[in-house]
Amino acid sequence: MYMKQFFAILFLSAIALSSCNLVKEDCKKPRQDMNPTVFINMPANGVSCIEVSEGFEFFLDWPYITGDEGTDREFAFANTDGFDIKEGAAAGRDKPTISLIVRADSPAEAAVEVFAYNTCGESNRGVANIKVRKTPPYAFNPRFKLPQIITHAATFTYQGKGYIVGGARGGTAGTDKTWVYDPTNNQLQQLPAIFYGGEESAAVVGDTAYITRNGGRNFQVYHIPSHTRVREMNQPNTYSDPEHHIVYMFARGNKIYIGPLAPLANIVSYDVTTGVFTNEKSFNLGGVACRSAFYLDNRIYYFFKNGDAFVYNPVLNSVTPFNTPFSVSENVVTSFAVNGKAYVATKNYYYAFNPADNSFAQMQMFNGSECFARGWAGRRWTVSNFVLGDRVYFVGGQETETSSGTTDFHGVKF
C-alpha cells in the first residue's frame, strides 16, 4: 500500500518537473522580486509622470529598471478598470508594457497591478500608483489632429457640436473646408464645401450662422441643419483694409456685431430680422490689428496688437479702454468665456478676467503629460476656439505671425 503511494507521488513529481524540463534556470523567479516598482512612461517625451489627465496616454513598464526584456516571461495586468487599453495591447496583454488612456470617468487614484510569471508558476507583483487630475482647470486630449493645417478659422457651436469653417492655411491661402466635431464620440466629420474659403469669424442666431471673411468685406448666411449657404452679401460699410485684419462676430438678441473693421476699428451691427447694417462705434485705432475678443455679460472685450484693450457695451453703444498686465510683446493668442467666466491666453500664460473691475489674475493650467501646472501650451498666434459646456477646444494657430497654420486640436476643462 505504502509502496504504491510512493510510486504514485514519484510519478506525479516527474510529470511536474518535466514541465520545467528539470532545468533550474527555467524556474527562476522573474526579476524585480525585490523591487516592485513599475515605471510610468509618457509617449514621445519620456517623462515619468505620477499624475495625468483625461485623454492622455501612458505606458506601464514593469521590467524597465532592471533591464528585463520579458522574453521568457508572461505578463498580466489588473485594476485597469476605468482606463481604455490602447488597441493592440488589449489582445492577451502578455507584453512587458501596457498602454492605458485616461477617461473622463477614470478613478482619481488607481493602483494598477502588474504580474510577471513563468511557466513554473512563480511570479512577482508590481504596482503602479496612478493619479488622475480631476480638479479643473486641466488640459484634456481629444487625441487626434486636424486633417489640414489651419489658422484663424471661423468657429461656432450648435446643438452640442463644434463647427470649424474655413480659415487660412497660413499666409494668404484660405480653405473652403467645413468640419463638425462631436464630443460624444470624439470624431471630426468633414462636410461638403459650400464656402469660398478663408472664413474667419461666425455668430449664431437660432439655427442660422452668420459668417464673415476677407476682413469683414464678405458676409454669408448659413442654415446649419441643412448645411446650406442661404445667401451672401458685401458689407456696405466696409472700409479699405490692405492688411486684411481679422474681425470678430458676436450675437446679442437679433443683432450680430462685427468688428473691428479697418481702418479705424469700427463696430458694425447687422439686424437679422431687417437685414440692415448699422455703423455703431469706432475705436479710432488706425491700422492696428485686433488679436482676440470674447463676449461676456452683454459686453464685448477686444484686445489689440499694440497692447490696447477695450470693452464695447452694445446697450449703451459705448467704448471704454482698460488696462492689461501683459506687455506688447506678450501678444494675446486667444480668449473665451466659459461657465460664466472669461479667460485670456497669451503666448506665455492663462489669465482669469474679472469684469467687475476689468482686472486679470495669472493662473496655472495642469497640462497632463507635462507633469506640472504651467501656462499656455498651444501655438503663439491666431488660435481659434469654441466652447462646449465646461470645455474649450482650441483650433489650429501659428507658431509665428508669418508661419503656416497647424493641425493642432486640444482642449481644457474649466
The band of 93, judged by pLDDT with boundaries at 50, 70 and 90, is: very low
Tell me which of 105, 132, 159 is where a domain ends: 132
Same domain for 80 and 190?
no
Q: What is the pLDDT of residue 126?
A: 74
Give the residue with greater pLDDT, 27 vs 317.
317
Phi, psi (degrees; rounded to nearest 5) at 87: -55, 135
DSSP letters, 102-128, are E-TT--SEEEEEEEEE-TTS-EEEEEE
Same domain for 66 and 35?
yes
DSSP 3-state assignment of 7? helix
Identify the domain containing residue 219 by its residue range: 138-241+322-413
Flag whether pLDDT at 16 surpasses 50. no
Give the residue with greater pLDDT, 342 vs 13.
342
Per mean pLDDT, which range of 150-154, 282-286, 340-344 is the poorest? 282-286
Non-local (6+) Cβ contacts of 263 within 8 A are 239, 240, 241, 286, 287
Q: What is the pLDDT of residue 44?
A: 47
What does the block give as the cell for 186? 470624439
What pLDDT digit, counting tens, does each position of 206-222 carry? 999 999 887 777 889 99
Flag whether pLDDT at 361 surpasses 50. yes
How deeply is 52 buried, as exposed, middle or buried, from its count of CB atoms within 10 A (0-12, 13-18, 19+)?
buried
Same domain for 226 and 348?
yes
Percentage with pLDDT > 90 across the chain: 42
Same domain for 153 and 113?
no
Q: What is the pLDDT of residue 108?
A: 95
Cα–Cα distances in Å, from 283 out to 123, 129, 287, 342? 73, 55, 11, 22
20 within a domain of the structure (yes/no): no
Same domain for 233 and 360?
yes
Q: What is the pLDDT of residue 7?
A: 26
CATH code where residue 66 lies:
2.60.40
69 within a domain of the structure (yes/no): yes
Same domain for 185 and 95?
no
Same domain for 105 and 161?
no
DSSP 3-state assignment of 83? strand
Tell me which of 132, 148, 177 is where a domain ends: 132
Closest C-alpha to 214, from 230, 225, 199, 228 = 199
100 within a domain of the structure (yes/no): yes
Per mean pLDDT, which range of 39-48, 112-121, 140-149, 152-161 is the poorest? 39-48
271 within a domain of the structure (yes/no): no
What does the block give as the cell for 169? 492655411
98 within a domain of the structure (yes/no): yes
Q: What is the pLDDT of residue 196?
A: 83
Mean pLDDT, range 56-76, rounded to an integer:
62
Same domain for 196 and 90?
no
What pLDDT digit, counting tens, does each position of 324-352 carry? 988 767 889 999 999 999 999 999 899 99
Tell me which of 84, 115, 132 is where a domain ends: 132
pTM for the model stands at 0.85
Same domain for 117 and 179?
no
What pLDDT digit, counting tens, does each position of 29-52 carry? 555 444 445 556 555 445 566 788
The band of 368, judged by pLDDT with boundaries at 50, 70 and 90, is: confident
47 within a domain of the structure (yes/no): yes
194 within a domain of the structure (yes/no): yes
Spatial contact of 282 and 236, defined as CB atoms under 8 Å apart: no
34 within a domain of the structure (yes/no): yes
What does the block give as the cell for 352? 482669469
Q: How many domains does the chain have?
A: 2
Phi, psi (degrees; rounded to nearest 5) at 355: -70, -15
Q: What is the pLDDT of residue 49?
A: 64
DSSP 3-state assignment of 298? coil
What pLDDT digit, counting tens, does each position of 237-278 carry? 666 554 557 889 999 999 999 988 877 788 999 999 999 999
Same domain for 151 and 114?
no
Q: What is the pLDDT of residue 71?
A: 58
Same domain for 126 and 157?
no
Q: Which string of b and e fits 341-360 if b means at least 16 CB within 10 Å?
A: ebbbbbbebbbebeeeeeeb
Same domain for 337 and 200?
yes
